[in-house]
Amino acid sequence: MSQDFAEMMNRLPGWVREMGITILSAGPDEVTCEWEVAEKHHQGYGIVHGGVHCGVIESLASIGAAIVARPRGQRVVGLENSTSFVRAVRSGKLHASARPVTRGRTTQVWEAWIRDEKEQLVAQGRVRLLCIGQEQPIG
């Protein structure tokens, strides 16, 4: 399932694809990705924008939480994203992984780490997600 789901996520339109992020694996215990830093990821000082790190962390957490929630007839929406920026990055390849802290019936919490090619921590975050029924409208 992990590889098939990752391939499906990579084909979907949206933010992940526009940012050039490739989902490498996606399962209920871990979701991973990688991307090459480009100018589109930079803020005004020429380093990766914190919003990119937040977006990657939330995307991985959401994918993992959705994989857990889907068999229960649920989908997930993000409630909270707390991301710490540890190291500035200007170029190179980054990779990230997210793992569950808790996969509860009504909420899930996932943690994620972004690292550079030297395995140095670049950003770390935690996302809390709400599990809602498929019939419940979002927004």
In the chain, domain spans: 2-133
Which tokens is 114 given? 């972004």
Active site residue 58: yes
pTM exceeds 0.85, yes or no: yes
Q: At what angle do helices 2-11 and 50-69 cross, to 10 degrees?
A: 130
**How confident is the model over 114-135, as a mean pLDDT?**
97
Coil, strand or helix: which one is 59?
helix
Q: Return the ∠ at Cα 115 (arms to 45 and 60), rounded to 5°.
A: 100
Statement: residue 86 has pLDDT above 60: yes
pLDDT per residue over 40-71, tens digit each?
999 999 999 999 999 999 999 999 999 999 99
Whole-number pLDDT of residue 46: 97
Predicted confidence band at 139 (pLDDT cuts at 50, 70, 90)?
A: confident
Beta strands 93-103; 107-115: pairing state: antiparallel
pLDDT given for residue 138 in this prediction: 85
Q: In what order do the strands lie in the sheet with 31-36?
A: 22-26, 31-36, 93-103, 107-115, 121-133, 74-85
Which tokens go with 8?
């499906």
Catalytic choice (18, 34, 36, 58): 58
CATH of domain 2-133: 3.10.129.10
